[in-house]
Structure 1
Amino acid sequence: MSAVAEILLRTRRVVAVDAMLADPRERPPVGKLGKNVRMVVANVPAGLTALEGELLQHDFLLSAPLRTALAKLNAAELAKVGRRLLHWAKIETGVWVDHVPLFRKFPDSVPADTYDFYVRRIFSLLTQEPEQPCVLCGERRTVYPVSPCAHLVCVNCWDGADYSACPICHRRLTPHDPFLIPTPQPREPRRGALDRPVAVLGYCADPIAACRDLAVSLLERRTPMPAHERDDLRGLLETCWPRSAAWLAETAIPVKETLAVALGVAARHGALDVLHARLGTATDVLRLLYELTGADPGLRTHPARPALPRPLRRIVLACLDRMALPYLMEDLRRHARPWVRMGEVLHPHEHHRRHPVAALAFAAVRGTPVDGGTPFGRAMLALAARHPDAVEVCRGRLRAATFGSRVERALAEKRYGAAVGLLAARPGELVRRLSQLLRLAPEALPPARLQEVVRRVAPGLLLAALGQVRTAPGRWRLFLPRGGTARFWSVPDERAPLADETVLETEQVLAGELLRRASALPPLRRVLLDEGLADLIAPTSERGATKALVRLTRGTVQPIPESERLRFFLHWAEPATAVVDLDLSVAVFDERWEFAGLCDYTNLRLGGWLTHSGDLTSAPMPLGSSEFLDVDLREPHGRYLVPIVFSYNDVPFEELVRGFAGFMERPEEGLFDPTAVRQRFDLGGPAKILVPLVADLRTRTIRWADVNLSASGYGHRVAGSERELAGLGRALQDAFRERVTMWELACWHAAGRAEEVVVRRRDGGLVTYRRRPGEPVTGFAARLIARAGAARTEVLPGEVALAALVHGDVEVPAEAQVYALYPETAAGRRLEAADLLSGLAP
């Protein structure tokens, strides 16, 4: 399907029928399609019924407007749209590829004794000779080499109807190797009553208007986006150009990485004049250069060989030259190594007469010797003498004097008032350091002064600071540095606790500012909230988030599905130039986070409650490889489960042709049931080890982790990583104890904007909160957050203008705004969590 139709379908769950039909391709990309879609297209009603039934098998329903629109198509058009819809639905759950584990009869045929299984493999590898009896059973003429590894395999000792790979090395075999005995195809899983959540697909009558709304919402977002959403934005702007040029002109873009994507599209289309107006700092320029050279505008991965056309180089130098020298120096020094490489392309010293400020800044960051006897040296020394606060000369070289160094010097000398005075000029920096400043000298930052500062701070920073301030020191601190693999570390929390009075005053200032902003938004008649939002962490930055079926913020807690069994799955396909060996593993810990066992390729069964499908060591196209791991929740022998994906041979996930993992409720029949999938996430980026979640079997909850572990070398596996995994699990429990939740964020919106708030409780009951006469906004918000003073409601009243829910299974007016973690209906205008946060911008 077209890029526009795919993006709208995936992000908004709406079908742009005309855009699908306009796509010149006759078929979707190669993938496994359902048999029902190969319909006899002479009968449109029958074809539409078949399409509905097929989509229902993947937990998707057609809305009434969409069904009406599809019914108006002719047979060929319906078949085309149906194929594309089904292909997308299968990709969403991961069923579009064939899942073939090592043991095709998994879980029944998995060996009970992994050590004995290993010994038999090694014994065969070392002692078996061609044209000799089998070393295991003694039979003659039963040993043959398999392709492509050429290991000698006995057809009596190894079941060719069960194995999908070489029994010795577990490498995928050539599909037509004689050792492989075809097995009957598994039956389709039985479908019972519709007691599971489904998503309703809406109809998009105006794709351009929908694209504009989506693009503008992404451009206006106040938190950094993950890479896949930047790709969506880039695709929307590129596809809709030149219409999208007007969207850029009329939209304020607060996040710098998003700005780089937008300006990159404009620059690629020759609209270079917009760069002068939008590039405000040197880091903005650097992000744009990264975007144009195919690197990450978040500056986490760097371009291999940057190359820029001459007109763009002139514009870049002109933008840098008009910036204030102190800020320019700091920005270049903050990203010194990337700027040194970019200087090799920009050649700023050759243009020092036209762009002297830019040339001076590059000379300082590169440590260029300045000789007063040359024209370049005289010009640079004269300019430096006019800016002693920004640059100084040391041993014949220029050196920058930065804002950060002045702040650190003031803190080291215990001149806390001076440090606060410096930081107050940059409110964002002050709020980032708020917890540190309150511990060092709370008297230097009284509530009144803090209240003045926070009026200019982005809401994401306020939420992050609020969570840090009110989280008392615990056992562990978790650090997730900004980087391409988000490597973490944890240390014992030895900080002194903040005084209760300081915490209360600071919380009142930060929350009060967010409430003030909410009160300034257009009023709402009625708001609908869900108590389950208290389990969801509000996003403050999503740049490292994994693309997933259910979009969860790191630290969010969700219940384990009501099932006796879970099945984790992993699928990947390797490029033609490399062999990639991924491993799906689970580490088990007791309630004190002591290591209690593992289930992986070295231990295929653990205590009868964990079962691994076997280790595949290659994944050639087109089949790829799949691994599964079953968990019996009835009698677990441990409290915490930590599933983990390893790249055994140290190949980054970004080199895969495709790769994804997830978990499902155990299907009644069949290996992979799309209706049982509860989470599916992509494997990508430079990471080599991913921990997606931590499961607590006692409370039957899952905490979303989405963390990559540091890795180097060869042979990554659970053995040797137990302490690191235990540290991660412990730290996750402490790190998100008092973070701001979606419940609080939604309550601020409701208290500031509505007179009446309806809350759906966890038991499904409804209660109503009404603002009391003369009640201040802060008091109403406190009552909502504490869930106190409500009246029972029997029936959900109409006229809901804003709904924030876990399950979006409520019919609301078409103009209502709806945030739902699980968007199960097409009603209302869909919001993301970041959209609620962006509404509280200063």
Structure 2
Amino acid sequence: MPHPLEALVIRHTHRLPAPSGPAGQGGSAARRFDAALMSVGFKLSGELLERLSGLAEETVLDTASRTLDTVRAMVGDHVRHNVYFVDFPANVPDTLDFWMQCIREALDDDASRPGTLDQLRSGVVDLLTLPTYGTYRHTYEEMLNAHDELIAAAGDRMTVLHAGGTPEAEATALYLALAESATPLGEEDLRDLAVLAGHCTDGPQPAQIPVRENRAVVNRARLDRGADLLLDTVTDALRLACALSDGDVTLAEPTRFRSLPRPVRRALLAGLDAIIAASPAKLADVTAHREAFKRLGERLHPHEYPHWPHAADVFAVARGEKEARTLDSRVEELLGADDVTGAARLLASAAPGKLLRSLDRLLRACPGQVERDAVTAAAEAAAPQVSGRVLLSVREHFHNRTREQVPRPRRFFVNRGGRAWVTADTRPPVPEPETKRLVEALDAETRRRLPEPGHLLVDPAVLDVALPLSGKATAPGLGVLPRGSVSPVDGELLRFFVHWRQAQRSTDFDLSALMLDGSYETLTWLSYTALQDLEGEHSGDITDAPAPDGASEFINLRLDAVRGDFIVPQVNIFSGEGFEEVAESFFGFMLRDADQQGRPFEPRTVRMKSQIRGTGRVALPLVFLRGDDGRWRAKWLHLYLKGSPSANRVEGNRVSVATLVRGIVEHDQLTVRHLVGLMADRATATTWWDGTQLPNGPVTYIGLERPEGLHPQSVVITPENLRALIPA
């Protein structure tokens, strides 16, 4: 029987858990498996191929079938991608000529002729009423027959699957890695952690769980098996209650609490009572989530348990019957009295992380050098008590505050749902001497926490990958990098794709590409309203995406023909369900040589495929930048615009998109390069890997993909586990 978590392990680690089965002569089946994988851009490592070759053929074939299903879904090849124009990108018509053709076809149809004539008399024709507009005009098989086979090229993607340990060992290792993450996980990773936590209840448990959302997910599994709960704030208990109701453990969205069994109510109330008994000041945390605590109190019935009076105090504060002064109010009172050093001391003792996040404001509020020295000294003393994620976030903040920005500095904001906005930065500058001193202190503390790397082996291609300070800054998928990362784009043809499948209502997504010049002014675009231009072609508008196959749209670009300096692909919701409502939605891009031919969608050429699951009505997955050297690079966005409830189009949002793109392009994220520089100071040797010979002994390897032949005791950091770089 296959292990229930096999696919999950492959998705997260690119490792295939060791199949169980009798020994045999599986070499021929293993080679066929490898060939099938290569057709979708994957490959078995040498070690894995050898291991499979020693198993019975039936075991290999069963493993191959399951694994192929998993990797095809990873790259987006689990669905049949059709196109409106059968031989796209060839023979895409002029937009107006195409619309006139649809009108002529409507006039030739007895059923649609009267309505079309009425619209023509009014002077406005609704394309969606034309019978041949917006739906596929041919079958998937007919589309395949219209295209030549893809010609293999050296630049095609090849993702290697490595040999894993036993399924249980792989699941346990992944569980511990996710639970112990020093940075928050994205929604999909949190769901996977919940599955792993439930499966791994009787095995090794994480030594520490620094992220509160992760702790809530693990606490739910611990509660199910009767283990002690990990609670040290009242918010921990609230998050656990959200997890028990399948709600939002991040507390960004309200949870509708379910009726809870008496043993669960007792566990939560006992936990709350112990927290407040040990530290009454933690009652102040209730006010930040007052309404949620009031609703939770209605489910827990604290009045039935008078022997836990401190738990009852939590809900008394939520109802306003008991006062618990917050730290923020005390800080504001001190700042209102111009006591900046007092505010810094209070934050240093009560919330060191909040002190570091408040440094910009505190330094600007200082009336003189004595106060600036005191605030800086307090921050230096507090740095060892602050999480590595906060150290690096503050370091990135001060880097962007002190660098030159032309024509004027901007502030860039992104919320948990990926919704972003940009505004002019009107704040006075921060004092340079104190900023320099703080940056040195932050770097020193980060360096102290980083592990001894030994021999450091680095793939230079990873240096411009942004540090994943939050999993919410990365969409789940294949080849996806954190927001702000920059990666090279090598190829002659760039092809975007979007696929969606509606859940209940007819839904129309529109793929578009906006071209901007160096001043972020619009040059042109490709969309369903502009099917072709000098730069490339659009595959045609699909306006409905029912099960089982959904719908797909493509844009094909010739990079040497692109005018301007920026290409901004976007997905607009024209009508129907939102990105979080549809049954499935994902975006990606392919790179090809001009003579490769092939179908509109070829999995071997896919460089990136990511889910689209944001709260806005316009998705901006990434932007392509032309460098001073003429080469194109991708900068990852994972952003959403609010948009309009319906009829979103590239023409209507191009100004806001350009403003947002400018904001993130001019914002410098802290990258792997920063941490590599700090680690290199402590490495016994540092080698820049060129893809050829590997050192003989164990190394700490940091790169985009794990090379074959590394020493088995090596520490390997790739995008799949990049969060492991962030010190706790």
Give the C-alpha shift of residue 619 in structure 1: 0.7
- Within the candidate set 411, 418, 422, 1:486 is matched to 418
Bigger share in helix: 2
Shift of 1:711: 3.5
Whole-angstrom CA distance in 1 between matches of 2:312 and 2:275: 12
SS in 2 for 1:558: strand
CA-CA distance at 1:464 after TM superposition: 0.6
Give the distance between the partners of 1:210 and 1:285, measured in 2 at CA.
30
Alignment correspondent of 2:723: 834
The residue number in structure 2 matching 1:617 is: 543
Match of 2:288 among 329, 334, 339: 334
The superposition leaves residues 351-410 of structure 1 with CA deviations (integer Å, 9 ceiling, x where unpaired) of 473333333332332235xxxxxxxxxxxxxxx5xxxxxx2xxxxxxxx42111111222
1:103 aligns with 2:27: no
What does residue 463 of structure 2 align with?
Answer: 534
1:747 to 655, 658, 677: 677
What is the match of residue 256 of structure 1? Answer: 212
Count of matched residue pairs: 700
Aligned residues of 1:534 and 1:742 also touching (Cα < 8 A):
yes
Aligned residue for 2:342?
418
Distance 1:297-1:456 versus aligned 2 partners, 3 A rule? same
Give the CA deviation at 1:51. Answer: 1.5
Q: 1:672-730: per-residue Cα shift (whole Å, max 9, x none)?
A: 11111111001225443210111113551111001111245221222221221011111
Is the partner of 1:323 in helix, strand or coil?
A: helix
Q: Is the 8 A contact 2:84 2:135 kept in 1?
A: no
After superposition, give the CA deviation of every residue in 1:444-472 in whole Å (9 maximum; x if it has no partner). Answer: 54544322110111001000101111222
Deviations 1:215-253 (A, max 9, x none): 21222211111122222222222233333xx425xx211
Mapped to 2, the partners of 1:525 and 1:319 lie a distance apart of: 43
804-813 or 400-409: bigger deviation: 804-813
Aligned to 1:294: 246
Contact 1:478 1:488 in 2 (8 A): no
Residue 362 (1) aligns with residue 315 (2): yes
1:372 match: none
Query: Paired residue for 2:121?
Result: none
Contact 1:470 1:503 (C-alpha < 8 Å) held by counterparts: no
Per the TM alignment, residue 182 of structure 1 is displaced from its structure 2 partner at its CA by 4.4
Aligned to 1:678: 607
Q: Superposed, which structure 2 residues align to 1:377-776 within 5 Å?
A: 391=323, 400-425=324-349, 426-441=351-366, 443-445=372-374, 447-471=376-400, 472=402, 474=405, 475-483=408-416, 485-518=417-450, 521=451, 523-560=452-489, 562-575=490-503, 577-605=504-532, 607-649=533-575, 651-666=577-592, 667-698=596-627, 699-736=631-668, 739-752=669-682, 754-760=683-689, 764=690
Sort the Cα spacing of 1:190 and 1:642 in 2 relative to 1 into closer, same or farther, 3 A. Answer: closer
- Displacement of 1:97 in angstroms is 1.2
Q: Does 1:211 align with 2:171?
A: yes
Counterpart residue type for residue 718 of structure 1: V
- The 3 A distance-change label for structure 1 pair 455 and 240 is closer
Measured in 2, the distance between the counterparts of 1:193 and 1:305 equals 55
Amino acid at match of 2:699: A
Shift of 1:650: 5.0
CA distance in 2, matches of 1:340, 1:317: 14
Per the TM alignment, residue 437 of structure 1 is displaced from its structure 2 partner at its CA by 1.9
- State how far apart, in whole Å, the 1-side matches of 2:128 and 2:344 are: 70
**Larger RCO: 1 or 2 (CA < 8 Å, sep 6+):** 2
**1:566 partner letter:** L
Rounded to whole Å, the distance in 1 between the matches of 2:655 and 2:294 is 39
* RMSD after superposition: 3.0
Please give the alpha-carbon distance, in whole angstroms, between the structure 1 residues aligned to 2:430 and 2:89: 53
Look up the SS of the partner of 2:183 in the other structure: coil
Post-superposition Cα deviations, 1:267-297, rounded to whole Å, max 9, x if no partner, equal 2x342x412xx11111111111111111221
| Mapped partners of 2:521, 2:51: distance in 1 | 58
Equivalent residue letter for 1:756: A
Q: 2:711 aligns with which of 813, 824, 828?
A: 813
Matched, 1:236 2:125: no
Contact 2:270 / 2:308 at 8 angstroms: preserved in 1? Answer: yes
Three-state SS of the structure 2 residue aligned to 1:335 is helix
Q: 1:748 to 1:652 in 2, by over 3 A?
A: same
Alpha-carbon offset, residue 765 of structure 1 = 10
Counterpart amino acid of residue 385 in structure 2: R
Return structure 1 stretches of 4+ with deviation > 6 angstroms: 131-136, 149-152
Q: Against the structure 1 CA distance between its residues 542 and 480, is the aligned structure 2 distance closer, same or farther, given a 3 Å change threshold? A: farther
Amino acid in the other structure paired with 2:363: L
Do 1:557 and 1:701's aligned partners in 2 also have CA atoms closer than 8 Å? yes
C-alpha displacement of 1:6: 1.1
Q: Contact 1:636–1:697 (CA<8 Å) still a contact in 2? A: no
Deviation sequence 1:173-196 (CA, Å, 0-9, x none):
8x99xxx99456355634436454
CA–CA distance in structure 2, aligned partners of residues 262 and 581 of structure 1? 39
CA distance in structure 2 between the partners assigned to 1:309 and 1:59 by the alignment: 49
Describe how 1:176-325 pairs up with structure 2 within 5 A. 182=142, 185-186=145-146, 189-192=149-152, 194-243=154-203, 246-248=204-206, 251-267=207-223, 269-271=224-226, 273-275=227-229, 278-324=230-276
SS at match of 1:583: strand
Unaligned runs of 5+ in 1: 23-41, 137-148, 153-165, 369-383, 385-390, 392-399, 767-794, 822-830
Instruction: State the one-letter code of the partner of 2:470.
Output: S
- SS of the residue corresponding to residue 346 of structure 2 reads helix
Give distance in 1, aligned partners of 2:347 and 2:252: 26
The letter for the 2-side match of 1:68 is E
Tell me if structure 2 keeps the 8 A contact 1:568–1:661.
yes
The answer for the alignment partner of 2:122 in structure 1 is none
Asked if structure 2 preserves the Cα contact closer than 8 Å seen for 1:224 and 1:542, the reply is: yes
205 and 184 in structure 1: CA distance in 2 versus 1, 3 angstrom threshold: closer
Query: Who wins on radius of gyration, i.e. which is larger?
Result: 1
Change (3 A) 1:185 1:800: same
* Distance apart, 1:510 and its partner CA: 0.5
Task: After superposition, give the CA deviation of every residue in 1:31-90 in whole Å (9 maximum; x if it has no partner).
Answer: xxxxxxxxxxx9954433222211112232222332233223333322211111211221
Whether the aligned pair in 1 keeps the contact of 2:459 and 2:702 (CA below 8 Å) is yes
Letter in 1 for 2:292: P
